[in-house]
Amino acid sequence: MAHNGSGNDGEKGAAARRMPGEAPAAGGLGLWVDRHISWFFVLPAVFFLAAVLAFPIVYTAGLSLFRWSGAAATPPVWVGLGNFADVFAGDPGFRNSLFVTAYFTGVSLLVEVALGVGLAQLLNREFVGKGIARTLLILPVAGTPVALALVWRHMYNPSNGIFTWFAEILRLPPQRWLADSISVIPSLILFDVWQWTPLIMLITLAGLVSLPADIYEAAQIDGASPWQSFWRITLPLVRPTIVAAAMLRFMDSVKTFDQIYVTTQGGPGIASQTLNLYVFDQAFQYLHFGYASALLIVLFFVILAGNVMLASIRRGRE
Amino acid sequence: MMGSWMDQGRRRFGRRAFFYAALALVLIVFIFPFFWMAFNSFKTHEKILEYPPAFVFAPTLDNFKNVLWQTPVLKFTWNSVVIAFGSLAVGMALGLPAAYGIARYGHRTLALGILVCRMIPGISFLVPWFIVFRALGLLDTYTGLVIAHLVITVPLITWIMIGFFEEVPVELEEAARIDGCSRAGVFLRIALPLVRPGLVSAAILALIFTWNSFLFPLILAGVKTKTLPVVVYSFMTFDYLDLGGVYAASTLVTLPVVILVLLVQRQFIRGLTLGGVKG
């Protein structure tokens, strides 16, 4: 309600000073609108949120209490909390997808943050072609995920993909990449790291640029090595930026769909089926709309918990 | 004295060389899949299947010719353009006033709602929408797809623009008020022109992310409104035998994005970092 603060001061003064020709169109109504203008600014977005956020949440919560195939002819059957009981009582698909999501998101987030901060440190200096280098590095973030996923899928092909050839050149044991249930997640993580490390780098770089140079000069005079000044000065100072970037990445990482759907469809078997893909399958493959809704509610709380955890890292040491 | 100076010079040169070598390696790693995509799109299907991968071959344009003239790709490109610009326009109409309202009048609850919207996976909107869209006859229509993509554009535009509106000096707006400008007038005539650089950043990001979007059209679009990413994907599933087509179609859908980013790199990068730091 902070918007009321600036609401009335100067209101009458401005109205009184208004030239006759510049009066608002509909006199009283115009003034009333103007006084409550802050609500008119946000009203469209509020309607939007009601339609795309509030309605789906309420609808999903309701639907999660039914069993329904989605067919218009057969009405939903009330099952109460039955769907949730099924989710937690040992649906192996759910447990698997929870594990896959934690594995995929956790490892790629850690690698991306470490590499992204390292790359930002590398690029945080003046050199010829800096602008071009930054632009080229950011292309994986902008490229169409489906197209990139198709390319990666073929690069990972065990019989004729270029990665298979690289592995042969490096004399690594033969890899089956996406086709093997052990190596599929690491392979997907590598793809994700390639695609999203540049974003972490970019955000961290923006944080690094804003650091004052004189602290480093002082540290150097005091005899700090570059390594020490990175750990003792740079890292603590840019930590809020890094955590913000990590939170952003976490939100999107849990949502990852295109890349996995196009490369493996959750396979082989269910080895790379994240929660997101599991819900998708339950809803649009098996038409278990009620069960999928229950899973969505759970997924929402998983994301919320992850964000609260990351936020507490940010707050914890400040 | 002389020796240590030369030593220092040599060390500096060594460090410089090491830096450029590391930079080159990093660039090669991140650009390679793009290069490989474009490179393979000039190979025949048989050449693509060759092992070890062929680096020397007679380039052909047949893949592009096939994709462009033998399939209705141009029609699907039009769908992508309509949906991207449609959801950009509506997203601006909803997001700009909202961002201004949050920046100037502090509607924190709304800001939180927008953030939650940004947080939730697309699939959570998809289940209820699919059911409602089916009932309302909105499946496979431009209207339905534009509405769906607002979930991407509105939070994006709002989030980026809050920061830009906050930087508009309040004094300017107050001066305009004293001169008899209404509050809506201040927004339209003072604030909006001042945040034009931000508008460009937000618009580019919104366009790219809707252009790239796959999950929504996969479920909500049909034969009439299919967008490019869905079509590119279907090349893989139905025409797996034509890898040349897959590579050419992938190149065609990615090319406009790459060109756009290269053209407006500064605005694109600023949009990304702002969204990140704020998020």
Res A20 pLDDT > 70: no
Helices A184-209/B265-278 angle, 10° precision: 100
C-alpha B221/C-alpha B149 separation (Å) is: 12
Peptide bond into A268 cis (omega under 30): yes
Report how many helices (DSSP H) and strands (DSSP E) chain A contains, helices first: 16, 2
- Look at residue B14 in the predicted model and tell me its pLDDT: 82
B98 and B15 fall within a common domain: no
Residue B189 CA: distances (Å) to CA of A11, A70, B162, B172: 19, 49, 17, 11
- The burial class, CB within 10 Å (0-12 / 13-18 / 19+), for B99 is buried
- Look at residue B276 in the predicted model and tell me its pLDDT: 52
Question: Residue B124 CA to chain centroid, in angstroms?
Answer: 21
* CB < 8 Å to A142, chain B: 208, 257-258, 260-261, 268
B15 and B68 fall within a common domain: no
Chain B from 211 to 230: CB within 8 A of any A CB:
211-212, 214-215, 219, 228-230
Q: With bands split at pLDDT 50, 70 and 90, how would you rate the model's confidence at B145?
A: very high
**What mean pLDDT is predicted for residues B41-70?**
87
Lowest mean pLDDT among A105-114, B111-120, B151-160, B205-214: B111-120
Judge whether B76 lies within some domain: yes
> Which residue would you say has higher pLDDT here, B37 or A229?
B37
| Per-position b or e across A145-170, b if 16+ CB within 10 A of its CB | bbbbbbbbbbbbbeebbbbbeebeee
Q: With bands split at pLDDT 50, 70 and 90, how would you rate the model's confidence at A15?
A: very low
Residue B96 near residue B157 (C-beta atoms within 8 A): yes
Q: Could you give the percent of chain A with pLDDT greater than 90?
A: 29
**What mean pLDDT is predicted for residues A208-220?**
83
Q: With bands split at pLDDT 50, 70 and 90, how would you rate the model's confidence at B25?
A: very high
* CB < 8 Å to B89, chain A: none
- If residue A77 lies in a helix (H) or strand (E), which one and from where to where? strand A77-78
C-alpha A3/C-alpha A39 separation (Å) is: 9
Judge whether B50 lies within some domain: no
In sequence order, which residues have a C-beta less than 8 Å from that of residue B50 and are 6 or more positions away?
A160
Nearest CA among B151, B131, B137 for reference residue B216: B151
C-alpha A96/C-alpha A77 separation (Å) is: 27
> Which residue would you say has higher pLDDT here, A3 or A211?
A211
Q: With bands split at pLDDT 50, 70 and 90, how would you rate the model's confidence at B5?
A: low
**What mean pLDDT is predicted for residues A73-100?**
83
- Cβ-defined contact of B33 to A148 (cutoff 8 Å): yes
- Cβ-defined contact of A52 to B150 (cutoff 8 Å): yes
- φ/ψ of residue B5, rounded to 5: -65, -45
CATH class of A90-316: mainly alpha
Q: With bands split at pLDDT 50, 70 and 90, how would you rate the model's confidence at B6?
A: low
B18 and B76 fall within a common domain: no
- Look at residue A14 in the predicted model and tell me its pLDDT: 40
* CB < 8 Å to B33, chain A: 140, 148, 151-152, 155, 194
* CB < 8 Å to A138, chain B: 261, 265, 268-269, 272
Judge whether B34 lies within some domain: yes
CATH code for position B258? 1.10.3720.10
How do residues B168-206 score in pLDDT, each as one tens digit? 888 888 888 888 888 888 888 888 888 988 899 899 999
Q: With bands split at pLDDT 50, 70 and 90, how would you rate the model's confidence at B81?
A: very high
- Look at residue B122 in the predicted model and tell me its pLDDT: 85
Q: Tokens 């999660």: give the residue.
A: A64
Res A87 pLDDT > 90: no
C-alpha A48/C-alpha B114 separation (Å) is: 10
**What mean pLDDT is predicted for residues B58-63?**
87
| Residue B28: domain span | 2-40
Nearest CA among B91, B127, B158, B217 for reference residue A144: B217
CA distance A223 to chain B (A): 19
B22 and B141 fall within a common domain: no
- Look at residue A108 in the predicted model and tell me its pLDDT: 96
Lowest mean pLDDT among A10-19, A263-272, B186-195: A10-19
Interface check B154 vs A, CB under 8 A:
yes
ipTM of the modeled complex: 0.89
- Cβ-defined contact of A248 to B275 (cutoff 8 Å): yes
- Look at residue B141 in the predicted model and tell me its pLDDT: 93
Res A273 pLDDT > 80: yes
Judge whether B55 lies within some domain: no
B170 and B249 fall within a common domain: yes
Interface test with A, best of B15, B102, B127 (most A CBs within 10 A): B127
Q: With bands split at pLDDT 50, 70 and 90, how would you rate the model's confidence at B2?
A: low
**Residue A21 DSSP label:** G
B29 and B77 fall within a common domain: no
B11 and B129 fall within a common domain: no
How do residues A112-137 score in pLDDT, each as one tens digit? 999 999 999 899 888 888 888 989 99
How do residues A238-263 score in pLDDT, each as one tens digit? 888 888 888 888 888 988 999 999 99
Task: Record the pTM.
Answer: 0.87
Residue of A nearest to B182 (CA): A34
- Look at residue A106 in the predicted model and tell me its pLDDT: 94
* CB < 8 Å to B36, chain A: 151, 155, 162
How do residues A26-48 score in pLDDT, each as one tens digit? 567 777 777 777 778 888 888 88
In sequence order, which residues have a C-beta less than 8 Å from that of residue B215 and are 6 or more positions away?
A257, A258, A261, B122, B123, B126
- Look at residue B277 in the predicted model and tell me its pLDDT: 46
- The burial class, CB within 10 Å (0-12 / 13-18 / 19+), for B188 is middle
Nearest CA among B267, B249, B252 for reference residue B205: B267
For chain A, give the mean pLDDT: 83
C-alpha A249/C-alpha A138 separation (Å) is: 15
| CATH 1.10.3720.10 residue window(s) in chain A | 90-316
Q: Tokens 């474009």: give the residue.
A: B38
Q: With bands split at pLDDT 50, 70 and 90, how would you rate the model's confidence at A6?
A: very low
How do residues B210-236 score in pLDDT, each as one tens digit? 999 999 999 999 888 999 999 988 887
B135 and B16 fall within a common domain: no
Which residue type sits at B200? V
Judge whether B180 lies within some domain: yes
Q: With bands split at pLDDT 50, 70 and 90, how would you rate the model's confidence at B126?
A: confident
Judge whether B13 lies within some domain: yes
Beta strand A66-67 with A77-78 is: antiparallel
- Cβ-defined contact of A151 to B261 (cutoff 8 Å): no
C-alpha A53/C-alpha A34 separation (Å) is: 28
- Look at residue B183 in the predicted model and tell me its pLDDT: 82
B32 and B170 fall within a common domain: no
Q: Could you give the percent of chain B with pLDDT greater than 90?
A: 39
**What mean pLDDT is predicted for residues A89-97?**
87
How do residues A161-212 score in pLDDT, each as one tens digit? 899 999 889 988 888 899 888 999 999 999 999 999 999 999 999 888 888 8
Res A9 pLDDT > 60: no
- Look at residue A11 in the predicted model and tell me its pLDDT: 39
For chain B, give the mean pLDDT: 87
B35 and B114 fall within a common domain: no
Q: Around A257, how many Cα atoms within 13 Å sit in the side-chain half-sphere?
A: 21
How many CB atoms neighbour CB B240 within 10 A?
10
B138 and B173 fall within a common domain: yes
**Residue A173 DSSP label:** P
Nearest CA among B108, B120, B144 for reference residue B222: B144
C-alpha B53/C-alpha B57 separation (Å) is: 10
- Tally of domains within chain B: 2
B128 and B196 fall within a common domain: yes
